[in-house]
Amino acid sequence: MTSLLEDTLSLFSLFQVKGPGVGLLGFSKGGDLCLSMASFLKGITATVLINSCVANTITPLHYKDMIIPSLGSDPGKCLKTDSGVWIYMGFWDNPLEEPNYHSIIPLERAQGPFLFIVGMDDHGWKSDFYAQIIASERLEAHGKDRPQIIYYPGTGHCIEPPYFPVCRTSVHTVLGQPILHGGEPKAQSWAQVDAWQQIQTFFRKHLNGKKICTV
């Protein structure tokens, strides 16, 4: 099976990638993929995760001779609202419990710092738990600096770029079901603007130090 991470190595040689360091920005499932890239590939200077899990999810991850299994799940723990929208907060098992511990991505191997963007009203992932209890404490236990974590009260799963319409529900591409993302419109809109600035500041600090255009 061809490794997704190995395929990504070829992207670093594209002329659009200035280097020498590369910054990663991942949202939801894309976040744990970015964590895996930062943990196993060289040249990753800074990584930003928006409402992401710190364990591998959905499908086993293959890299060289190693396989990180997918985090276990229990669809029976999901809730369905009166309007027919699903809440998947309880879908995933606890990564800290066996046998799920082996699905945690070894982010302590990463060379660069992390920024976690956390929506406190995220109805899809336990984003606060993943960032604080697992990522931050795991890094500290391995003698690494704690990640920067920014919390946004009243903010749901989909923290998109500024002025995008607030997305509280949508049909999940993999699950094929309408799911609730959470978030209040005012808090969500403010978080999108502020997070965009915070992300640029983080990359500006840890990449080449040059000014990045803002909206």
Q: Domains (ranges, CATH) in the chain?
A: 17-206 (3.40.50.1820)
Q: pLDDT at position 60, please?
A: 94
Q: pLDDT at position 16, please?
A: 60
- Amino acid letter for position 129: F
DSSP 13-63: GSTT---SSEEEEEETHHHHHHHHHHHHSTTEEEEEEES--SB--SS-EEE
- Phi and psi of 95, rounded to 5°? -65, -20
- The pTM of the full predicted model, rounded to 2 decimals, is 0.87
Q: Which residues contact 213 (CB under 8 A, 6 or more apart)?
A: none
Q: pLDDT at position 174, please?
A: 76
Q: What is the pLDDT along the chain (215 residues), one digit of tens a residue?
A: 345 555 555 555 665 666 667 899 999 999 999 999 999 998 899 999 999 999 999 999 998 888 999 999 998 898 998 888 999 888 899 999 988 999 999 999 999 999 999 999 999 899 999 999 999 999 999 999 999 999 999 999 999 999 999 989 888 887 788 899 999 999 999 999 999 999 999 999 998 755 444 33
Query: How far apart are alpha carbons 187 and 119 in whole angstroms?
Result: 10
Q: pLDDT at position 136, please?
A: 94
Query: How far apart are alpha carbons 63 and 68 in whole angstroms?
Result: 8
Contact 28, 170 (CB under 8 A): no
Q: pLDDT at position 207, please?
A: 87
Q: pLDDT at position 131, please?
A: 95
Catalytic residues: 28, 122, 157
Q: pLDDT at position 198, please?
A: 97
